[in-house]
A and B are shown apart, each in its own frame.
Chain A
Amino acid sequence: MCLAIPGRITEVEGATGLVDFGGVTRETSLTLVPNAAPGDYVLVHAGFAIEILSEEEAEETLSLFRDLAGALGDEP
């Protein structure tokens, strides 16, 4: 359930934004993310941005993967 893909907001006009998905732009409703601003990455589902993505958290998750991978062999 719930195909949603990340894109970057390029323009905001009222409750509508233009979102760039790797080279294609689609008008997207920002009704569910009232604080979204140009430059933000948002997760888009069915024409609506449903959340602003946190780049900081993304980095943290990637470093967590590195740690998990790094923990290899530490187990008894």
Chain B
Amino acid sequence: MANQEKEEPGAGARISLAHGSGGTLMHELIEDTLLSRIGNPVLNDLDDSAVLPDLLGRALEGGRVALTTDSFVVQPLFFPGGDIGKLAVCGTVNDLAMKGALPAYLTLGLIAEEGLPLSDLERALSSLGRTAESAGVRVAAGDTKVVERGAVGGLMLNTAGLGVVPAGRNLGAGNVREGDVVIVSGMIGDHETAILLAREELKVSESIESDCAPLHSLAETVLGACPETRMMRDPTRGGLATTLCEIASSSGLGVTVDEARVPVRESVASVCDILGFDPIYMANEGKAVIVAPPDGAEPIMKALRGHELGRDAALIGEVGGRPGVHMRTRVGGLRPIVMLEGVQLPRIC
């Protein structure tokens, strides 16, 4: 096996504990595998810390700096519509974008497990590099560790992100007012459903694509169409329902949405039906929930529908009504929406 690795580097090669030892193998890994895919003048210095020469053209004057971090532990590492590398950029870029920040730099913490095929690491990093480029961000600093087999399910990533909030922009739940509109930027539940099917436990033959996408340009489109936009959130874990509950609780106002207007793909709805899940609790990785003043509804919807990630956007409800979150059901009933206590487990009986 060791011989084979030497004969065919790249093909059957796997990560070993030596790759994390600080020795030559680790340097080779960083130079050959990492820098070739995510390198840039700042990262290539490989110094103890990155000293940022500029903010990639984002002007700071009068604005503020946004900083966020997120860890990525998705299984499987590769799934239709994305992979852990793409997700590691999108997750952090989206957290910045939802606060109206223009994303600039990321850091990357990488924990790989011994035995991980080198080709898997390369594939994930290539995807991470491509996504970073498309989002206009650079990886400025990084760290690599290797841990024993079985410890991290192959690969775990952490990214921190730094962005600039232009002067005058101040998105947040404190701005939300009675009568505001609530918009979702597209179909909900795709990501978590895609992951479920990719695990192949449900034995469904089709696959569903994750919606995993960087939302920086969509966020700018929304803010361009309606600079008075109150707030944005990306409904990741816990789904749309949880995000709506967070909006209601941090604004102290009621939120009422219409079930019939919430966009759900038929295949996602079917998988949820099979398992007894509710799509409004399924995670998304490329969607935004937007709260805006009523006269912002039309310009935002028009702008979203012209954006490739917002074609299925829908105005789903408004701020107001009873405290908490309520959903007007298809048959005209009123159903309270609460946060889930834990994960949804498939129910059959």
Q: A residues touching B (Cβ–Cβ < 8 Å)?
A: 1-3, 5, 18, 21-27, 44-46
Contact = CB atoms under 8 A, between A and B. Distances in A.
Contact of A46 (B202, B265, B349): B349
A3 B205 contact: no
Interface of B: 197, 202-206, 208, 265-267, 269-271, 273-274, 276, 347-349
Contacts of A25: 204-206
28 contacts: A1-B349, A2-B349, A3-B347, A3-B349, A5-B274, A18-B205, A21-B270, A21-B271, A21-B274, A22-B266, A22-B267, A22-B270, A23-B206, A23-B266, A23-B270, A24-B197, A24-B205, A24-B267, A24-B274, A25-B205, A25-B206, A26-B202, A26-B205, A27-B205, A44-B274, A45-B348, A46-B348, A46-B349
B265 to A, nearest CB: 8
A44 to B, nearest CB: 8
A29 to B, nearest CB: 12
A39 B348 CA distance: 25
Contacts of A46: 348-349
A27 B203 CA distance: 7
B203 A26 contact: yes
B46 to A, nearest CB: 47
Contacts of A23: 206, 265-267, 270
Given A21-B274, A23-B265, A26-B204, 13 more contacts: A1-B349, A3-B276, A3-B348, A3-B349, A22-B270, A23-B206, A23-B270, A24-B205, A24-B206, A24-B270, A25-B204, A26-B203, A26-B274
B145 to A, nearest CB: 39
A21 B273 contact: yes
B204 A24 contact: yes
B15 to A, nearest CB: 35
A65 B347 CA distance: 30
A56 B276 CA distance: 27
Contacts of A27: 203, 205
- SS class of chain A's interface: helix, strand, loop or mixed? strand
Contacts of B274: 5, 21, 24, 26, 44
A24 B204 CA distance: 7
A58 B274 CA distance: 21
Contacts of B266: 22-23
A45 B342 CA distance: 24
A44 B265 CA distance: 21
Among A24, A26, A46: residue with most chain B CB under 10 A: A24
A3 B347 CA distance: 8
Nearest to A23: B267
B201 to A, nearest CB: 12
Nearest to B267: A23
Nearest to A6: B273
A5 B347 CA distance: 13
Contacts of B206: 23-25
B57 to A, nearest CB: 44
Nearest to B206: A24
B230 to A, nearest CB: 35
Contacts of B276: 3
Among A2, A22, A27: residue with most chain B CB under 10 A: A22
